[in-house]
Amino acid sequence: MGMRRRRRRRRRRRRRRRRRRRRRRRRRREEEKKGKSKSCPPTPHISLTVV
C-alpha cells in the first residue's frame, strides 16, 4: 500500500512541472506581440512610462 502511494505522489509532481513549462511558452508569445507593438505604435508605451 505504501509503495503505491509514493508512486502516485511522483506522478503528481511531474504534472506540475509540465504545467509550468506550458506557462513559460505562453509568456514568450506575449513578449513577441509586445515587441511588434513597440515598432508600430510607440504612443501607448510612452503614456505608461509617464504614469
Average pLDDT, 10 consecutive residues per value, the chain (51 residues): 63 64 61 55 59 54
pLDDT at 47: 58
pLDDT at 24: 60
pLDDT at 32: 58
List the grid coordinates of 42: 510607440
pTM exceeds 0.75 for this model: no
Distance (Å, whole) CA 17 – CA 48: 34
Report the domain count for the chain. 1
pLDDT at 20: 64
pLDDT at 5: 63
pLDDT at 30: 60
The residue range of the domain holding 14 is 2-50
**What residues contact 9, with CB distance under 8 A and at least 6 apart?**
none
